[in-house]
Structure 1
Amino acid sequence: MPETSSGDTPSILIIGTGFGGLGMAITLKKAGFHNFQILEKASDIGGTWRDNTYPGAACDIQSHLYSYSFEPKHDWSRKFGLQAEILDYLRHCVRKYDLAGHLKFDSEISEAKFDGQSSQWIIQLKNGGSLSADVLISATGQLNLPALPNIPGMDDFSGDQFHSARWNHECNLADKRVAVIGTGASAIQFVPEIAGKVKSLVLFQRSAPWVLRKPDRPFRRWEQALFKVLPPWDRLYRWLIYWKNESRALAFTRLNRLLDIYAWQGKREARKQVTDPEKFKHVIPDYQIGCKRVLISNDWYPALNRPNVTLVTEDIDHMDQYGVVTKDGAHYPVDVIIYGTGFRASEFLSPISIIGKNDRSLDEAWANGASAFKGITVNGFPNFFMLYGPNTNLAHNSIIYMLESQFSYVLDAVKLLAKNPGMVMEVAGDRQNQYVSEVQSGLEGSVWSSGCHSWYLDASGKNTVNWPGFTFTYRWSTRRVDPDNYSFYRFPNRN
């Protein structure tokens, strides 16, 4: 570790204005660092909560936990927040912490390249502009790139078609014949909202999801008032939610048979609400619960049971001008096709080209799968930090908790750089390899390795998404930067 000295704070660029980017900016500002910009490709803040405006869009983590610990909201309308309310919460944070002057909208990045001459990151924008900074922080998230299927004939279809994350609100679904492709987390929410409005709905299911009841309800006014006048109760309520959720980690990561209790609950709900025997045969998954994302809903099974909803499990062969054709030759004429096919979660930072030392790209560094030290730093990419990076996703608790752990870690790194102007820090390759090996070993006994194919796995079948343990162990490991894990150096041309 080099000797410290006083100097100007490093200039910082943050990519993205979701919970990660805004929370990182607030953390920096509260610590006295103001020399930063937040780049956003769209014309508004919000990330996934800006993009996903489909009917019924909501969070599946409780409101009080899916919010910053340093900015509690006492008047959540429901136990599980709705899209518009979550987006309003983020806008409130921008106003309260005076981030408007740091935001740069309509600034999609095409390339970010580390320049050894200046020891800075040079960012090229798609609109032709360029920026530079000492530190680059990515907060692009894992659920920002819609995954569209590759079905022959998609361009031949003459009706409206769109992905749920790019919902076409100009398309009136009333009395239309609608096809929905996919039965993931988004479809679980929007299908019940549209099923009663459309003339008919054909739901194409590749594999059935495990669906549990959602313990959701509106908060009563006296409850909201109590949260406001008694902040310790608000904190205790959040703490109780956290530990209730955290207790499930052991089932996902080690004692997988504990999940059988949830499987029994899911089967009971399906049996109770899907009275159509033909449909019921196809709603119970054939893989272990937890291997794919477990979904929560109180109206999914009733929607499936509607007489105007047809459940199709035969693989799609192609599309034509009038609808969808399955491999058994059946033709389903429809007016609108909606893709509920999820996101390209394992393609971190795509399509931005990140180029580190010696002109080596992140794609090259990740040829064998995305990986990072603590999910945050990558060897060969000095002064580059990721939020919600590889293997930091959760199946049992709030990602906001993980993000706040990363805010603290990155802030500690920025403080080290501020004490050493012109210096760069880079995680040691052997420390990163050792860490990644430990994470992958931890995943071996998890439910996610029980044999199903999910968005947790990349093209080679490697789980580059999930964290294989408790969130409090991750927080402990990111409580501070250990300088022994990093190289600190100055390039010859940097004064």
Structure 2
Amino acid sequence: MNDRRIDHEALIVGAGFGGMGAAIEFTRLGIEDFLILEREDDLGGTWHVNHYPGLAVDIASVTYSYSFEPNPYWSRLFAPGAELKKYAAHIADKYDLRRRMEFGVIVEQAVWDDDGEFWTVRTHDGRTHTARYLVTATGFLSQPHTPDFPGIDSFAGDIIHTTDWRDGYDFGGRRAAVIGTGATAVQLIPEIARRARALTVFQRTPIWVVPKVDFPIPRPVQHLFAKVPLAQKAARAVNTSLLEMLMVFGVLRYQQAKPGNQVAALLAKTHLRLQVRDRETRKALTPHYDFGCKRPTFSNSYFRVFNQQNVALETGTIDHIEPDGIVTADGTKILADTLVLATGFNLWDVNFPAFQIVGRDGRDLGQWWRDGRFQAYEGITVPRFPNFLTLNSPYSYSGLSYFTTIEGQMKHIGRLFGEMRRRGTRRFEVTERANADFLDRVTKNLASSVFYAGDCSGSRSYYFNQHGEATLLRPESTLTSLREQASFPLDDYEYA
């Protein structure tokens, strides 16, 4: 093999928490020659791209962070988005990652060279990079979905997508229309309702919303966390246990623990009843699918906005858009001069993967997934894709905090590369047998989840791909996932 053709030992695409986690693990392994390519103008992933009013984590901050790098100074139990962005910058600086990052670089293609045993990565500016190992850390929610409503180009007012927010935009005196009622909209809508002259919320599918137990973290508690890390570790353990109960018993083990799911749904319905006065509005805001089919969210202010005189809920199908408003299928026209698209992301058509990846024997990863079944061994490697790690992949998301997934994958990388070092090899590829066995196992385990044993028919959930399979979540407890990532059979890989 001609090493002079290799620009870097490893190339990581994405400078969010996943990409930085992989970089930290490489550094621990003694792999210092890596490059991180990021399409945005700074690091932080979703916490850099998103900065709309009301942005905050929807998992308690003590859990939504690396366990090995706790932040004792979160201002609230559910920290504002700006603090996550600051935390990302802290990680990059502490682990000396920023100097290895290139920003404003859009990766278009990666192709495996089987003779030279390296990846060639092409970017939008015509450059190429070669690397022995390729890691994609492009995130699960990185490709915004912009609906192609007839006439949207004719709209005379302002159109704002939540991922391209205009900081300082003033809704005062304006007639706003928000399309979408997912987790982002739940955070954003109360902020718009405070200022707008009129706000119409276009809902296609209602979302399960439970009370948000949020409060400022007092300074003495922050100082305690800083001086006694064990205290924050205990708080993290308690919160993680609560999330685990919600995820495992409410979603993944629905068939065995259906009463637990029903209790969660009852809590959300009670929350709705206590906050919304109008009976018809409550009915329209009540989901007609089981709790957990879509990712639920937390809020104490979302439902209450529908009591305001300036806020209306519209459940009619959008037919088309005119210069001064939106027309529904029944001919109703809602006037608007600001259109906010809280329309989420496109996972399965363009995000898995986020650019073309061609492995051994010319296998195109995106085409292979979409023509067949979405799959990845342990949610991180794929057969016929040597020296390739995909962090945002089918069956990879573990638990409710993304950091559980990241740290599990870091364990997997450490074990895999440690074995290559022991063998004196530099190439790995998961076997077809190991991949098939893992796919069979997770498919079987998901059979008892709410996705298949419950009623998700009306959910329009991004958990389901275009084949109707719920292939995003790993159907195991986080403890099981972490243990398996650190102890998978080493002969599930071939080494050379």
- TM-score bucket of the superposed structures, by smaller chain: over 0.9
Q: Relative to 1, partners in 2 of residues 1:206 and 1:9: Cα closer, same or farther, differing over 3 Å?
A: closer
User: Is 1:413 equivalent to 2:411 in the alignment?
Assistant: no
Partner of 2:384: 380
CA contact (8 A) 2:107 2:123 kept: yes
Partners of 2:355 and 2:424 in 1: CA distance: 28
CA contact (8 A) 2:14 2:45 kept: yes
Match among 397, 401, 404 for residue 398 of structure 1:
401
Match among 87, 93, 96 for residue 91 of structure 2:
93
CA contact (8 A) 2:377 2:434 kept: yes
After TM superposition, the structure 1 = structure 2 runs for residues 315-330 of structure 1, keeping only pairs within 5 Å, are 315-330=317-332
CA contact (8 A) 2:250 2:291 kept: no
Report the CA distance between 1:349 and its aligned residue: 4.2
CA contact (8 A) 2:8 2:130 kept: no
Partners of 2:87 and 2:13 in 1: CA distance: 20
Partners of 1:54 and 1:269 in 2: CA distance: 25
Partner of 1:301: 303
CA contact (8 A) 2:179 2:343 kept: yes
CA contact (8 A) 1:109 1:124 kept: yes
Match among 222, 228, 236 for residue 234 of structure 2:
236
Report the CA distance between 1:420 and its aligned residue: 5.7
CA contact (8 A) 2:353 2:365 kept: no
Amino acid at match of 1:39: L
Partners of 1:304 and 1:440 in 2: CA distance: 40
Normalising by structure 1, what TM-score?
0.94
Map Cα deviations across residues 53-92 of structure 1 (whole Å, 9 max, x no partner): 1111111111111111111111110001211000100101
Partners of 1:420 and 1:125 in 2: CA distance: 34
Map Cα deviations across residues 20-49 of structure 1 (whole Å, 9 max, x no partner): 001111122133221111111111001011
Partners of 1:135 and 1:321 in 2: CA distance: 50
Match among 277, 281, 284 for residue 283 of structure 2:
281
CA contact (8 A) 1:425 1:486 kept: yes
CA contact (8 A) 1:10 1:417 kept: no
Q: Relative to 1, partners in 2 of residues 1:94 and 1:423: Cα closer, same or farther, differing over 3 Å?
A: closer
Q: CA RMSD in A?
A: 1.8
SS of 1:345's partner is: coil
User: Is 1:486 equivalent to 2:489 in the alignment?
Assistant: no
Report the CA distance between 1:393 and its aligned residue: 2.3
Amino acid at match of 1:345: L
Normalising by structure 2, what TM-score?
0.93
Q: Relative to 1, partners in 2 of residues 1:237 and 1:28: Cα closer, same or farther, differing over 3 Å?
A: same
CA contact (8 A) 1:315 1:327 kept: yes
Partners of 2:484 and 2:29 in 1: CA distance: 21
CA contact (8 A) 2:109 2:356 kept: yes
User: Is 1:467 equivalent to 2:496 in the alignment?
Assistant: no
SS of 2:176's partner is: strand
CA contact (8 A) 2:16 2:44 kept: yes
Partner of 1:492: none
Report the CA distance between 1:397 and its aligned residue: 2.8
Amino acid at match of 1:253: L
Report the CA distance between 1:421 and its aligned residue: 6.3
Q: Relative to 1, partners in 2 of residues 1:124 and 1:419: Cα closer, same or farther, differing over 3 Å?
A: farther
Amino acid at match of 1:68: Y
CA contact (8 A) 1:256 1:446 kept: no
Partner of 2:210: 212
User: Is 1:451 equivalent to 2:449 in the alignment?
Assistant: no
User: Is 1:129 equivalent to 2:127 in the alignment?
Assistant: yes
Partners of 1:266 and 1:419 in 2: CA distance: 52
Partners of 1:236 and 1:272 in 2: CA distance: 33
Partner of 1:291: 293
Partner of 1:4: none
SS of 1:59's partner is: coil
Amino acid at match of 1:310: A
Report the CA distance between 1:96 and its aligned residue: 1.0
Partners of 1:451 and 1:229 in 2: CA distance: 46
CA contact (8 A) 1:292 1:448 kept: no
Amino acid at match of 2:379: G
Report the CA distance between 1:417 and its aligned residue: 3.7
Map Cα deviations across residues 248-273 of structure 1 (whole Å, 9 max, x no partner): 21221122331111211111121111
Moved over 4 A (4+): 418-422
After TM superposition, the structure 1 = structure 2 runs for residues 47-62 of structure 1, keeping only pairs within 5 Å, are 47-62=45-60
Partners of 1:351 and 1:405 in 2: CA distance: 22
Structure 1 alignment gaps of length 5 or more: 1-7, 490-495
Amino acid at match of 1:468: P
Match among 296, 310, 313 for residue 311 of structure 1:
313
Partner of 1:147: 145
Report the CA distance between 1:364 and its aligned residue: 2.7
Report the CA distance between 1:170 and its aligned residue: 5.9
Amino acid at match of 1:451: C
SS of 1:448's partner is: helix
Q: Relative to 1, partners in 2 of residues 1:385 and 1:326: Cα closer, same or farther, differing over 3 Å?
A: same
Map Cα deviations across residues 336-384 of structure 1 (whole Å, 9 max, x no partner): 1111111113344444110001222102321223210011000110000
Q: Relative to 1, partners in 2 of residues 1:231 and 1:9: Cα closer, same or farther, differing over 3 Å?
A: farther
Partner of 1:333: 335
CA contact (8 A) 2:181 2:342 kept: yes
SS of 1:310's partner is: strand
Partners of 1:172 and 1:462 in 2: CA distance: 42
Partner of 2:262: 260
After TM superposition, the structure 1 = structure 2 runs for residues 1-150 of structure 1, keeping only pairs within 5 Å, are 11-150=9-148
Q: Which has the higher contact order (CA 8 A, sep 6+)?
A: 1
Match among 345, 350, 355 for residue 352 of structure 1:
355
CA contact (8 A) 1:140 1:349 kept: no
User: Is 1:370 equivalent to 2:374 in the alignment?
Assistant: yes
Which of 115-124 and 273-282 deviates more? 273-282
Partners of 1:242 and 1:147 in 2: CA distance: 31
Amino acid at match of 1:117: D
Partners of 1:215 and 1:403 in 2: CA distance: 26
CA contact (8 A) 1:210 1:289 kept: yes
Q: Give me the identity figure in percent.
A: 35
Which of 168-177 and 365-374 deviates more? 168-177
Amino acid at match of 2:314: V
Which of 405-414 and 306-315 deviates more? 405-414
Which of 57-66 and 478-487 deviates more? 478-487
CA contact (8 A) 1:413 1:481 kept: no
Kindly tell me the number of residue pairs found equivalent between the two proteins.
481
